[in-house]
Copies of this chain bind each other. A is one copy, B any other.
Amino acid sequence: MRKQSSTNLENELLINGNCDMAYTLDLIGGRWKPSILWRLAYGAMRYSDLRRSLPAVSERILILQLREMESDGLISRKVYPEVPPRVEYQLTDLGKSLEPVINILTDWGAENRPDSEKRKVRCPVLTIK
């Protein structure tokens, strides 16, 4: 829960209200959001698969990030009334429109990230289906 008023929140609103770049960063800047975007770029995924593909994130945090992305309109959540339950997440058109943004962020990182900070995987260029 966020405070109703604080300099911290006021500053966030001030910046997101005045700066388009900051607004975009706010939507994609959560710890796990890039990873989620990359996965959903290849098509819809159900919750359990998303979770298994991200073993380091806890359930609560994954759900939090998904909820935020949903309320920001980047992904949609579709519930299939089955047993056991099935919930699929996928990019909305708005989410898909991030493709060039994601690619340029990825390209810049690939170009400039020092080797010391690199591990094995390098995200390939994204082509959303």
Per DSSP, chain A at the interface is: helix
A3 within 8 A of B: no
**Interface locus among A45-53, A77-85, A108-116:** A108-116
- When all copies of this chain in the complex are counted, the total is 2
Contacts of A109 in B (CB 8 A): 19-24
* Residue pair A20, B119 in contact (C-beta under 8 Å): no
- For residues 92 through 119 of chain A, which have their beta carbon under 8 Å from a beta carbon of chain B? 94, 97-98, 100-102, 104-113, 117-119
Contacts of A34 in B (CB 8 A): 15, 19, 21-22, 25
User: Given contacts A15-B34, A18-B119, A97-B112, could you give 12 more A-B pairs where the C-beta distance is less than 8 Å?
Assistant: A15-B32, A15-B35, A16-B117, A18-B121, A19-B38, A20-B109, A20-B122, A21-B38, A21-B106, A23-B117, A100-B104, A101-B105
* Residue pair A105, B31 in contact (C-beta under 8 Å): no
Count of chain A residues with a beta carbon within 8 Å of a chain B beta carbon:
47
Interface-central residue, A23, A100, A102, A123, by most chain B CB under 10 Å: A23
Contacts A31-B11, A34-B25; A17 near B108 (Cβ below 8 A): no
